[in-house]
Amino acid sequence: MQEGYSPEIVPYEKDKLDAVLEKYELVLGIMAVGIAVRTLCGHLSDKWTDRPVVAVNSALSCAVPVVGGHHGANDLARFLASRLGLFAAVTTATDSSGRPCLEEVAAGLGADIVNKESSKAINLAFLKEDVPVIRLKGPKIVVVDEDVAVLKERGLVVGIGARRGVSASEVLAAIDESLSEAGRKRDDIAILATAWLKSEEEGMRQAANELGRELIFLSREILNSQSPSTASRAQDLGLCGVAEPAVLALASRLISAKKAYGRVTIAIGQ
């Protein structure tokens, strides 16, 4: 749940429900789930456009995502749980099983889901296994089955390489300087990427949290399947590189080739 929302209290009026659902990004109803369901019934079309709604009981002890669990309602319920101590009654199968979902993966990659009808098959698969994310670089014509989700990325991919023990402030300073040189800003970042070897680097994780972006850890096979433009000291670790190959693996094109900023190396792609 992001900070910065401006909540408003709106007295319940059944005749004005359409206006409320159209105006607000998230709706919290202080009412029983049954009342919420009966009230919303004639106002629902599909999960991609329906407004996320959470029902909270009058005792303020339980928050139930009624509509749009993967589209904000689950996050709202958890936010209420963290701030007010309510029980977040999240019922979506992937969340209940501690598994990822397509919507979560797309958001983490800063991407839009092109063929939304694939979500059911993908989320069912996530209950049993890890579903791989594969990038195809064009120009290509791709024909997919109904259980293959097509994601269209938006924003920048920032590849990060760093010396061991690097601090969050070093990582952030390097990213900021690299973005400035490219004429971009933090808000343009969609995702951060590095090597699986860096998964224990707390400074990199803290920097990602500060930016509010997901940090993806790529395998040796994925990194070494790329063709970076410059040589890297990572060759000592059996890698063709880290920052630039990470970008090449996830972005359509390289905007800024890798450059060292102190103990941090940054590359940017889109």
Over residues 221-256, the pLDDT tens digits come to 999 998 887 777 777 677 888 999 999 988 878 999
Name which of 57-71, 138-152, 186-200 the model is least confident about: 138-152
**pLDDT score recorded for residue 86:** 93
Q: Which residues of 7-36 are buried (b: 16+ CB within 10 A; e: fewer)?
A: eeeeeeeeeebeebbeebebbbbeeebeeb
pLDDT higher than threshold 70 for residue 1: no
Is 38 strand, coil or helix? Answer: helix
Report the CATH fold assignment for 14-91.
Rossmann fold (3.40.50)
Band (pLDDT 50/70/90 cuts) for residue 156 is very high
- Cβ–Cβ under 8 Å, residues 267 and 247: yes
- What is the average per-residue pLDDT within 159-172? 95
Over residues 4-36, the pLDDT tens digits come to 567 888 888 878 888 888 888 899 999 999 999
Token pair for residue 236? 């000592």
Over residues 170-215, the pLDDT tens digits come to 999 999 999 999 999 999 998 999 999 898 999 999 999 999 988 9
d(CA 153, CA 135): 10
pLDDT higher than threshold 60 for residue 43: yes
**pLDDT score recorded for residue 138:** 67
Band (pLDDT 50/70/90 cuts) for residue 105 is confident
**pLDDT score recorded for residue 49:** 87
Token pair for residue 19? 């206006």
**pLDDT score recorded for residue 52:** 93
**pLDDT score recorded for residue 81:** 95
Band (pLDDT 50/70/90 cuts) for residue 107 is confident
φ, ψ dihedrals at 167, nearest 5° = -90, 160
* Domain extent listing, the chain: 14-91, 103-152, 155-269
CATH value of 155-269 in 3.30.420.180, 2.40.128.280, 3.40.50.720, 3.30.9.10:
3.30.420.180
Residues 6+ apart with CB under 8 A from 130: none
Better-scored residue on pLDDT, 166 or 239:
166
**pLDDT score recorded for residue 154:** 74
Model pTM?
Answer: 0.57
What is the DSSP annotation of 119-160?
HHHHHHHHTTSPPP-----SS------TT---EEE-SEEEEE
State the amino acid at position 123 in one-letter form: N
d(CA 35, CA 45): 18
Share of the chain above pLDDT 90, in %: 56
What integer best gives the mean pLDDT of the chain? Answer: 89
**pLDDT score recorded for residue 5:** 60
Dihedral sign for Cα atoms in the order 193, 114, 144, 45: positive
d(CA 74, CA 88): 8
Tell me the β-bridge partners of 100.
Answer: none
Name which of 82-91, 134-143, 206-215, 253-262 the model is least confident about: 134-143
Question: CA-based angle 157:160:162, to the nearest 5?
Answer: 175
**pLDDT score recorded for residue 110:** 73
pLDDT higher than threshold 60 for residue 3: no
For residue 251, give the nearest of 107, 171, 155, 172 by alpha carbon. 155
Band (pLDDT 50/70/90 cuts) for residue 104 is confident
